């Protein structure tokens, strides 16, 4: 009964490897079934080149394992928090992609400096606060998810318009309507992070893109009257 989401999670995890944004075993992707309130996620510490769909572990939205012989990713509680808090998402990805992780380690958001970023998301990719010692020592992974939700809610950020976040001193989480889209967003995040880094190397005083150019590029691709790409029949 879980083969569909196991396959989707498997495919998303392979994309992380293909995109080169999850070195070694440093990353994980999950795919959820909201009707059943479960999600399939990569098993902990298993290399990407040995993965199969059967390796995927299914857990419920409280993080309890319901199917699979292996231990789920150590980041499973973070995924569970995000599925509970962001009702429109169907996939979650965590990586340690190099440039995005560098921004996270610096405690810096990734500002929207140009139209490539505006095509990707609506404004800066935020960076959360650092977890407290108590949050780290008690339910660290769950609290990582809660810090993401806290930041989005306190700052009025729409997770559908900004499908990525940086955890200070840690790395990025991304999400999307499904697991494949979440993996695509993780790859897009690394690209805009690399562009921002190189832009600041060339011009440390570079300012963010204008609001009207941000609106134009984001809305033509993601808005209700979007006209980028081909219309579905």
What SS3 class is residue 100? helix
CA 135 to chain centre: 21
Q: Does the residue 141 lie in any domain? A: yes
Instruction: Check residue 29 and give left, alpha or beta (phi > 0: left; psi -120 to 50: alpha).
Output: beta
Residue 221: per-residue pLDDT: 86
Residue 233: per-residue pLDDT: 61
Nearest one of 171, 159, 8 to 81, comparing CA atoms: 159
Q: Would you please indicate which residues are annotated as catalytic (active-site) residues?
A: 119, 228
Q: Does the residue 229 lie in any domain? A: no
What SS3 class is residue 118? helix
Contact at 8 Å (CB) between 102 and 190?
A: no
Please state, in angstroms and rounded to a whole number, the distance separating the CA atoms of residues 31 and 33: 7
Backbone angles phi, psi at 163, to 5 degrees: -90, 30
Q: Does the residue 171 lie in any domain? A: yes
What is the number of structural domains in the chain?
1
Give the domain range for residue 185.
Answer: 3-222
Please state, in angstroms and rounded to a whole number, the distance separating the CA atoms of residues 60 and 78: 13
Residue 228: per-residue pLDDT: 82
Q: Does the residue 184 lie in any domain? A: yes
Residue 230: per-residue pLDDT: 80
Q: Does the residue 176 lie in any domain? A: yes
Q: Does the residue 120 lie in any domain? A: yes
Task: Quickly list DSSP for 150-214.
Answer: HHHHHTT--TTT--EEEETTTEEEEEESSHHHHHHHHHHHHHHHHHHHHHHHH-TTPPPPPHHHH
Residue 226: per-residue pLDDT: 82
CATH number at 41 reads 3.40.225.10
pTM for this prediction: 0.94
Q: Does the residue 63 lie in any domain? A: yes
Backbone angles phi, psi at 189, to 5 degrees: -60, -45
Q: Does the residue 51 lie in any domain? A: yes
Residue 154: per-residue pLDDT: 98
Low-confidence stretches of the chain (pLDDT beneath 70):
233
């Amino acid at each position: 009964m879980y083969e569909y989401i196991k396959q989707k999670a498997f495919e998303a995890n392979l994309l992380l490897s293909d995109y080169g944004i999850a070195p070694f075993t440093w990353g994980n992707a999950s795919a959820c079934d909201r009707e059943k309130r479960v999600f399939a996620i990569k098993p902990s510490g298993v290399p990407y080149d040995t993965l199969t769909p059967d390796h995927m572990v299914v857990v419920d939205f409280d993080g309890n394992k319901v199917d699979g012989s292996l231990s789920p990713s150590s980041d499973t509680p973070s995924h569970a928090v995000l599925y509970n808090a962001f009702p429109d998402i169907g996939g979650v990805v965590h990586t340690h992609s190099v440039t995005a992780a560098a921004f996270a380690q610096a405690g810096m958001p990734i500002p929207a400096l140009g139209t490539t970023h505006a095509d990707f998301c609506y404004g800066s990719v935020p960076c959360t606060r650092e977890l407290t010692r108590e949050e780290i020592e008690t339910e660290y992974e769950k609290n990582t998810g809660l810090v993401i939700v806290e930041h989005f809610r306190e700052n009025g950020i729409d997770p559908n318009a900004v499908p990525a976040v940086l955890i200070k001193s840690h790395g990025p989480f991304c999400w999307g309507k499904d697991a494949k889209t979440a993996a695509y967003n993780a790859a897009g995040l690394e690209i805009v992070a690399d562009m921002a880094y190189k832009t600041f190397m060339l011009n440390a005083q570079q300012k963010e893109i204008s609001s009207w150019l941000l609106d134009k590029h984001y809305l033509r691709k993601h808005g209700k009257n979007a006209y980028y790409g081909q219309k579905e029949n």
